[in-house]
Structure 1
Amino acid sequence: AGLRAVAAPLALAAVGPLLLAGYGLVALQPEPPAADRPLRMGLVQSNLTDYERLRRERGAEAVVREVLDIHFAMSFDAVERQQVDAVLWSETVYPTSFGQPKSQAGAELDAEIGATIDAAGVPFVFGTYDRDADGEYNAAAFVSPGTGLLGMYRKTRLFPFTEYLPAWLDTPTVRRWLPGAGAWRPGSGARVMPLRVSGGRDVPVLPLICLDDTDPGLAIAGARLGAQLILTMSNDSWFSAHAQGAALHQAVAAFRSIETRLPQFRVTTNGYSAVIAANGDVIAGTRMGERTLVIGDLPVRDPAPTLMVRWGDWVGRAAAGLLVGLALLPVLRRWVGGVPADTPAALPAQLLVLPRAARGVAGLLRLLSRGGALAIGAAALWGDGALQTNTLALLRMFTAVCLIPEAATWALLRVCTARPTLADGRLVLTRGARRLDIPLQDIAAVEPWRLPLPGPGASLRMKSGKTWPHGLALRDPWALARALGAPVQERPRQRAWWAQARCRAELPPSRLARPAFKFMLLPLLLAMPAFQLHQKIAYGSALGEFYSFGLGAYLTGFGLWWAAWIAGVVLCAAALRAVIELGTFTAALVRPQQAMVSRAWLERLGLAALYLGLPAWLLLRALAS
């Protein structure tokens, strides 16, 4: 259709970038000068790495002495020659708990650091450890001259398997397998600390340690708490042989400034230390693996709140919502567009060739399975409550009455599967070495089954007046008739039955109606919160059964909950299926020409009841308890 056809999608595609570009032009307008002079800070990148190896080679005392001497010397240069307002050291540069010494030697080192800061006359921020009754923390110490330790920030986002083990894996056995796994405790979240510089000025700063700077939520929380500056400390020594990883880490950290419009000082042990402007630009920085001092000036002010600060980390959620909406468009169009008209049909890839005895046995087994599901559902709903409280009894009954007959039906029908083809004016049905040929000229009509047992299908009426001795089970007998070029035989007195069968055959099935989604994924999603509630009520925590009886008992318990929800969803689906079939038949009796539309809406309502009603019921039960 030319340009007119592509104009609308091109315009829609341009809306998002244009809106973002317009917002960027407004947000990145030059800000007025800050009321106070810029904050000048010195970043000490010592290029000292692999403390553990150095400890083994030289001893702990010699290593700590070397680390402090190098940092003292570089900090002296920053204070005396560069006239900085504050000094920033990297993560865990002081590898023991500052302010809470564990020995007399530790107390002497603490005193030496305090005396050095007093002599410098500017505040220092450096990585160290903190501890309390719960354990140790990776922390940042804020120390001011003459005042001493003002406070600690405790790292919030710890690396799993290196800095800590997840609670569900923190067992003696796993500790033996992973001897290097740490035992640090996580901090409580973002914290704004005062940086007291000369002139009695307090600058509210947000400290972030290593992995913290990959979490937009921490930066946003700090901005909301009134921070005017971000101080980032990291130890990127594990990227020593792969500088690209350290560069990526710095790029991610710069996004915290872009999102909040807070300038940032970032120091690492040997990676990329940098002075980062509020728009994410790197004003000054280092190379990988060098010992150097970075000096930078950044204006400090209360920034205008960005959309990220106002709305939170909304971009990913908005994009995900847009993608979900685009994915649902075809479904909505199918719902609104109604049922497609008849189109030429090809033979199905497979169908079932059922002798009368096989159809009778399979139909009886399936009737027992589906009827048994309705009976169990009725007993659970209107009985004495025993099935609702006894999960094992429900599962045994469900297995005996529903699963075993259904499995037997599946095995029987699998033996009867054949591949249909048309060749030389004949319908050829092939299974392995077996082959059945039917001349098309001998077929007078295709007669759909009134009762879909063991499933929908049709019989072939021959021109001799007899019915071909095997039935053909397939979803759409009308499509088979079109492919064979034969008419469909419908008896006028049974018009409602035929209308219902045609609706069942020609209405395109929803993807949500697939057994994998309906009977496996949906029960799994329902079982997970229900199992967690059970764990907290029965054992006091989400992993209580695991801690008490081990992983085998925990997984067995979850398997039982999942199986129980599978049974529950099957029972609900059986009841809904009965309502849908009865409603379609009633519509076919009253208004046959509207039967297809009625069935389409009944199918949609049935899926909504299953996928929305069951979670809503579970939520109401949880809130009521």
Structure 2
Amino acid sequence: MNALMSKAWVRATGAVVLGVVLLALYARGSWGLGFVALLPWLWWLDQPASWSRRLLRAWALSLAYVLAAFTWFGTAIAHYAQWPQAQGQAVLLLIAPLLQPQLIVWALVRQGMDGRHRPWLRAWAAAAAWVGIEWLCPKVLGDTLAHGLYPAADLRQAAALGGTAVLTLTLLLANEALAHHLSQWGSGWKVRPRALLVPLGLALALPLLLLAYGASREAPRLDAGLPLLRVGLVQANIADYEGRRQSQGSYAVVREVLDVHYAMSYDAVERQRADAVLWSETIYPTTFGQPKSEAGAQLDQEIASIVNAAGVPFVFGTYDRDATAEYNAAAFVQPQQGLLGLYRKTRLFPFTEQVPAWLDGPLLQRWLPWAGRWQPGSGARVFPLRLRDGRELPVQPLICRDDVDPSLAIAGARLGARALLTMSNDAWFSADPLGARLHQAVAAFRSIETGLPQFRVTTNGYSAVIDARGTVHAAGDFGQRALVVGALPVPEPTPTLPVRWGNWVGPLCLASLAGLLLVRWRPLRGWAPQPAAPLGWPLRV
């Protein structure tokens, strides 16, 4: 008995580790592995177990999933909080179920659909649970399984049909179909050919259909005679503000940051003929337009003078305030007109930018002295970008975590935006640039979902010019000072399905899951329990 248990434990551990390796490679660019990465875990979930062990398996898979794709986040936590690396990774594992709740629900729903149901019904219920929970409970990082498909240029276009949820659903169902095919194959030669071919055909048909759609979807061509927007993205590669403040002093750091941005902006306007200039998130580290000191008022006037001399609009990260709170914001400054308006960041990062009021207090301030207390903005807001040739283009600004929420970009498209201007400070990914690369991939999906071009700038990478297909036309490398200048067409976009219907896939999955679970626990012959037939004696067994 002990030998059997030991052998089962070794096989289970091997399945979990193999799944971690496949998912890690998938998250790092080997997008084809996404269609098979869950096979080892599906095999493990199919092994008989009690409900307590099933719950333990689900929890273990949430840890494994985080280890496969999010160790960079543990590194970022340690870097931001100035903790040892091991402590950052320990916190990451502790909060793994909160970061990936959909995986726990997926595992439990899949195992709760017992052998009385057809395999395709169980597969759909589990996949619907995964996608539905991601819609119902938006995750801190806004991640989903589909983001690993970003390198597949044609396949990722399916996001224009139903957001990344369509692609995540496809990956889950393809893995389930292949798992069923392999289980039938392992049953021996007595299995009918149809039982082998149908699941294999489904696993192949799903991505092929999406590939065919993606190949037919074209982005506006640069030479099609459409109006172009040319933006200069200033990636100054100045990070570690706190360390610089301690060694140089606050004013000296602000002076250095602004001087570098002035010089690079001059190059963008005078030599590269940019129509607008975009600086990154919180690059101006005080309130613009409402100075807190005489020195702040002088800096405000200095920026306005630079914009007047350039003759093009500037958009940059700063702060805003009112009588009750401060906000992470983006300022739109127009030549000769000054401050046109401020967009307030909507999706603040928990425990770094915002602390829940019910949890805030002296104890938390002592434990987390770096935690910010900004307030969120009111949602999407479109601003006019007035160019020097007389054109006025409506644009939607997004700041950092705003671009992981599809609803904000969709709301901007509905308000008439013709382009997305995204800005971020990804410096806390400096120790592991994978986080910054994945963040850019997530942002690129917002362009695919809305059909809008995007100009994205970050403090130290990756800044990029991204078209409506999510293709990067110009980019700066991570950890490098770079001036990224690119032009993209900005026609009146044809509304995509997400713009028309919103995130319709998530609610549909939840509704179908609710129906399946209702049938699952409903008595087989009607709503009322049926009386049992009397037993005849003696029984013949």
Per the normalisation by structure 2, the TM-score is 0.59
Q: State the match for 1:199 in structure 2.
A: 389
**Aligned residue runs from structure 1 range 316-395, under 5 A:** 316-322=506-512, 334-335=524-525
Gaps of 5+ in 1: 343-475, 490-625
Q: State the match for 1:240 in structure 2.
A: 430
2:494 to 265, 282, 304: 304
Q: Distance in 1 between matches of 2:506 and 2:215?
A: 21
1:283, CA displacement in angstroms?
Answer: 1.1
Q: Distance in 2 between matches of 1:334 and 1:31?
A: 58
Q: State the match for 1:135 in structure 2.
A: 325
In 2, are the aligned partners of 1:260 and 1:305 still within 8 Å (CA)? yes
Distance 1:250 1:9, change over 3 A: same
Q: State the match for 1:164 in structure 2.
A: 354
**Aligned residue runs from structure 1 range 71-150, under 5 A:** 71-150=261-340
Q: Residue 169 of structure 1: SS of its match in structure 2?
A: coil
Q: Distance in 2 between matches of 1:15 and 1:308?
A: 23
Distance 1:169 1:35, change over 3 A: farther
Q: Distance in 2 between matches of 1:13 and 1:337?
A: 36
Distance 1:29 1:242, change over 3 A: closer
1:313, CA displacement in angstroms?
Answer: 1.3
In 1, are the aligned partners of 2:222 and 2:489 still within 8 Å (CA)? no
1:13, CA displacement in angstroms?
Answer: 6.2
1:219 to 394, 404, 409: 409
**Aligned residue runs from structure 1 range 226-625, under 5 A:** 226-322=416-512, 334-335=524-525, 487=538
Q: Residue 328 of structure 2: SS of its match in structure 1?
A: strand
Give RMSD over aligned pairs. Answer: 3.1
Tell me which protein shows more strand as a share of its residues. Answer: 1
In 2, are the aligned partners of 1:44 and 1:90 still within 8 Å (CA)? yes
1:35, CA displacement in angstroms?
Answer: 6.2
Q: Distance in 2 between matches of 1:57 and 1:32?
A: 47
Q: Residue 372 of structure 2: SS of its match in structure 1?
A: coil
Q: Residue 346 of structure 2: SS of its match in structure 1?
A: coil
Q: State the match for 2:148 in structure 1.
A: none
Q: Distance in 2 between matches of 1:335 and 1:8?
A: 30
Q: Distance in 2 between matches of 1:142 and 1:303?
A: 23
In 1, are the aligned partners of 2:219 and 2:467 still within 8 Å (CA)? no
In 1, are the aligned partners of 2:220 and 2:489 still within 8 Å (CA)? no
Distance 1:31 1:295, change over 3 A: closer
1:314, CA displacement in angstroms?
Answer: 2.0
In 1, are the aligned partners of 2:523 and 2:529 still within 8 Å (CA)? no
Gaps of 5+ in 2: 1-190
Aligned residue type for 1:236: D
**How many residues of Structure 1 are paired with residues of Structure 2 in the alignment?**
349
1:9, CA displacement in angstroms?
Answer: 5.7
In 2, are the aligned partners of 1:87 and 1:124 still within 8 Å (CA)? yes
Q: Residue 168 of structure 1: SS of its match in structure 2?
A: coil
In 2, are the aligned partners of 1:92 and 1:126 still within 8 Å (CA)? yes
Q: Distance in 1 between matches of 2:528 and 2:340?
A: 69
1:301, CA displacement in angstroms?
Answer: 1.4
Report % sequence identity: 63
Aligned residue type for 1:141: A
Structure ID, larger Rg: 1
1:198, CA displacement in angstroms?
Answer: 1.4
Aligned residue type for 1:487: P
Distance 1:278 1:252, change over 3 A: same
Q: State the match for 1:402 in structure 2.
A: none
Q: Distance in 2 between matches of 1:201 and 1:236?
A: 32
Listed one character per residue, the Cα deviations across residues 411-433 of structure 1 (whole Å, up to 9, x for unaligned) are xxxxxxxxxxxxxxxxxxxxxxx
Q: Distance in 1 between matches of 2:525 and 2:440?
A: 48
1:170, CA displacement in angstroms?
Answer: 1.9
2:236 to 46, 51, 55: 46
Aligned residue type for 1:227: A
In 2, are the aligned partners of 1:34 and 1:300 still within 8 Å (CA)? no
1:193, CA displacement in angstroms?
Answer: 0.7
Aligned residue type for 1:249: H
Q: State the match for 1:623 in structure 2.
A: none
Aligned residue type for 2:441: A
Aligned residue type for 1:55: R
Q: Distance in 1 between matches of 2:487 and 2:479?
A: 23
Listed one character per residue, the Cα deviations across residues 344-391 of structure 1 (whole Å, up to 9, x for unaligned) are xxxxxxxxxxxxxxxxxxxxxxxxxxxxxxxxxxxxxxxxxxxxxxxx
Distance 1:322 1:20, change over 3 A: farther
Aligned residue type for 1:82: Q
1:171, CA displacement in angstroms?
Answer: 2.4
1:166, CA displacement in angstroms?
Answer: 1.0
Q: Distance in 2 between matches of 1:9 and 1:157?
A: 41
In 2, are the aligned partners of 1:162 and 1:181 still within 8 Å (CA)? yes
1:322, CA displacement in angstroms?
Answer: 4.8
Q: Distance in 2 between matches of 1:187 and 1:33?
A: 38
Q: Distance in 1 between matches of 2:333 and 2:222?
A: 31
More displaced stretch, 45-54 vs 328-337: 328-337
Distance 1:339 1:25, change over 3 A: farther
In 2, are the aligned partners of 1:34 and 1:301 still within 8 Å (CA)? no
Listed one character per residue, the Cα deviations across residues 422-467 of structure 1 (whole Å, up to 9, x for unaligned) are xxxxxxxxxxxxxxxxxxxxxxxxxxxxxxxxxxxxxxxxxxxxxx
Q: Distance in 2 between matches of 1:32 and 1:159?
A: 37
Q: State the match for 2:68 in structure 1.
A: none
Q: Are residues 1:187 and 2:398 paired?
A: no
1:167, CA displacement in angstroms?
Answer: 1.9
1:176, CA displacement in angstroms?
Answer: 2.8
Aligned residue type for 2:422: T
Distance 1:30 1:106, change over 3 A: closer
Q: Distance in 2 between matches of 1:336 and 1:284?
A: 62
Distance 1:35 1:203, change over 3 A: farther
Q: Residue 358 of structure 2: SS of its match in structure 1?
A: helix
Q: Distance in 2 between matches of 1:488 and 1:303?
A: 74
Q: State the match for 2:133 in structure 1.
A: none
Distance 1:34 1:334, change over 3 A: farther
1:37, CA displacement in angstroms?
Answer: 2.8
Per the normalisation by structure 1, the TM-score is 0.52
Q: Distance in 1 between matches of 2:300 and 2:448?
A: 37
1:183, CA displacement in angstroms?
Answer: 1.1
Distance 1:54 1:100, change over 3 A: same
Aligned residue type for 1:164: Q
Larger RCO, structures 1/2 (Cα 8 Å, 6+ apart): 2
Q: Distance in 1 between matches of 2:220 and 2:287?
A: 43
Aligned residue type for 1:273: S
1:66, CA displacement in angstroms?
Answer: 0.3
Q: Distance in 2 between matches of 1:52 and 1:151?
A: 28
Q: Distance in 1 between matches of 2:513 and 2:270?
A: 56
1:56, CA displacement in angstroms?
Answer: 1.3
Aligned residue type for 1:144: Q
In 1, are the aligned partners of 2:330 and 2:397 still within 8 Å (CA)? yes
Q: Distance in 2 between matches of 1:191 and 1:256?
A: 16
Listed one character per residue, the Cα deviations across residues 192-226 of structure 1 (whole Å, up to 9, x for unaligned) are 01111112211110000000000001011001000
Q: State the match for 2:125 in structure 1.
A: none
Aligned residue type for 2:327: Y
Q: State the match for 2:142 in structure 1.
A: none
In 2, are the aligned partners of 1:43 and 1:266 still within 8 Å (CA)? yes
